[in-house]
A and B are shown apart, each in its own frame.
Chain A
Amino acid sequence: MNSTITTARRAFGISKIYIVIAIVFTIIAITVWNPGIYQQINSKNSTVSNSLTNNTIALNSTSAGRNATQFSGISLIAVPLDIVPVLMIITPVILLFVYDKNNGVLEYFLSIGKTQKDIYMQYLKAALLLASVYLLIFVPADMIYTRLTYGAIPANNFTLIPLVVIPFAFAVVAFMTTCMMAFSTLQKTRAGSNQPLGLIIGWVSTAPGYLVAFVLSFTIGIYADLSIAAIIAAISLAMLISSDKLIKREKLLP
């Protein structure tokens, strides 16, 4: 745990710009897009939901206290959107990995007996720790702000969306971090493409979440998002477990 905290702190220390961008995105998420989405759920006569949710069960429902199954899945668009700041927060971990590889720190880790998997796990845990800290602040802040600004929102929806964000975000963080560590390990020349590529991988892995929001109902969408998160997490885990066999130790040398 100590090495995880140290790695997370080091990542936090090497690049402040991503933290600033994440904070900006978070403020926008809490004050602009999430309230808009929640309000759309709460609206008794939402014309927006009518136009976007032709295929959902709850087209013309008027009850504010209705069951979650009746709502449009469009509100689930908050899930992939809320993950964007998480991707920003963990990008410094990817930068740190590249930096440590070039600087010989990974070589040092190998010399003290760590395996490729141990090293990947160390940086992945740091990324998950940073994501956890972020979500621990973001989720309650989002709920409180929305509650204070827009009043009561049906309990199911109010809690379900941020709660789906949590497993989805962890899965995407694991996938993005593992992919980028593998990419940076195998990269022959330093082309400086790690940051944009990492963010693209992260964003692409959230893309099914957007699709879910547009084509499925709320309840089915929730299950679909959770299933997608499980699949992404399983792929990341498989990559991680096989890293000792797939990636040669010398690839981690400067």
Chain B
Amino acid sequence: MPSLELIDVSSGYNGKNVLHDISFRAKESSVYVVLGPNGAGKTTLFRTIAGILEHSSGKVLLNGKDISDKEMKGQINYLSHYNALPEEMTVYQALKFYSDIEGGNPDKVIELLNLQELKNKRISDLSQGQKKRVSIGKVFLKERQLYLLDEPTANLDPGLSKEIRDIILKLSKDKLVLYSSHNLYEASDIGSNIILIKDGKLAMFDKIANVRSKDYRVGIRANKDISKIVNAKKGESGYYILTVASPKEAGLALQKIVKEGILVTEMRELDNPLQELFGKEGT
């Protein structure tokens, strides 16, 4: 079973640390969601673990061995939020380009991600979302011990994001995946653990269930009083405030209200645990 351990790792750019004394140990084969507001240091964390950036202090160990160890080369797959695709090539050529470097079968990846219709299109002719799909494709060329996926579903439509998450979930059964996101719902959909980075420091390393158990508040506007139907409290601006444990519970409450023949004119999340965690910047 793969394990990743960071011991007092500090790292950054041009001699200036962005990450400060990060320590954690990820030892389950599952998805660890790295959360944090913009500029918190998520990408720097990934680059440091991938060995792209040299850490100024501390240790990064994969399966107990330092990542700078020659044996560790080729054990980590890093998906940058830059697509890193040679734009002059076709999709197939680009995947072949990467498979020539690190191995793997481009045809399998094309099948896995349903890229058949894009296979012969030039990368430069693709939309941002399509480029992202191809970029994700290179992650699945070859199996690794550790996957570092920096916002892999950014620019993708919800349907495709779900497909990608399902593939990653399947992958994480016997691999360690670190997955960065801004979105708690996405995180709760895919992850089992949370690594929260705030101002370059580790703010939380916990089971995601522990975060989700905090209050989740939804504001509902309706044409009748719903307080007795779903135990909501009347709040400001005509909203009924419903406090539930998860977005799923909010959906069930909505169903109950509609069954009573009440017209719901608006329903919105008022806040979520991430906002609390991130502070003022929100999600």
Contact = CB atoms under 8 A, between A and B. Distances in A.
Interface stretch (A6-14, A45-53, A169-177): A6-14
B149 interface: no
A103 B81 CA distance: 10
A112 B100 contact: no
B174 interface: no
Interface in A14-67: 14
B52 interface: yes
B52 A111 contact: yes
Contacts of A113: 51, 73-74
Nearest to A14: B88
Nearest to B46: A111
B88 A253 contact: no
Contacts of A10: 86, 88-89
A104 B82 contact: yes
Contacts of A6: 97, 100
A110 interface: yes
A108 interface: yes
Nearest to B12: A250
Contacts of B51: 110-111, 113
Contact of A104 (B83, B101, B102): B83
A19 to B, nearest CB: 14
Nearest to B98: A108
Contacts of A2: 100
B84 A104 contact: yes
B109 interface: no
Given A111-B50, A111-B52, A250-B14, A103 B85 contact: yes
Contacts of B14: 248, 250
Contact of A108 (B74, B84, B88, B100): B84
A254 interface: yes
A3 B96 CA distance: 12
Main secondary structure of the interface of A (DSSP, over half): helix
Contacts of A3: 100-101
Contacts of A103: 82-87
Interface residues of B, number: 25
A254 B81 CA distance: 11
A100 B97 CA distance: 13
A108 B94 CA distance: 13
Interface string B62-83: 0000000000011010101011
Interface string A97-124: 0011001110110111100000000000
Contact of B53 (A104, A249, A254): A249
A111 B83 contact: no
Which of B13, B76, B78, B88 has the most C-beta atoms of chain A within 10 angstroms of its own C-beta? B88
Contacts of B87: 99, 103
Interface string B212-255: 00000000000000000000000000000000000000000000
B54 interface: yes
Contacts of B74: 112-113
Contacts of B47: 107, 253
A112 B73 contact: yes
A253 B48 CA distance: 13
A112 B13 CA distance: 20
Given A249-B53, A250-B53, A112 B101 contact: yes
A2 B101 CA distance: 9
Nearest to A252: B52
Contacts of A111: 50-52, 76, 78, 80
Given A113-B51, A113-B73, A248-B14, A107 B80 contact: yes
A10 B86 CA distance: 8
B73 A108 contact: no
Interface in A62-114: 99-100, 103-105, 107-108, 110-113
Given A14-B88, A107-B82, A111-B80, 9 more contacts: A3-B100, A3-B101, A103-B82, A103-B85, A104-B82, A104-B83, A110-B50, A112-B101, A249-B53
3 closest A-B pairs by CB: A104-B82, A104-B84, A113-B73
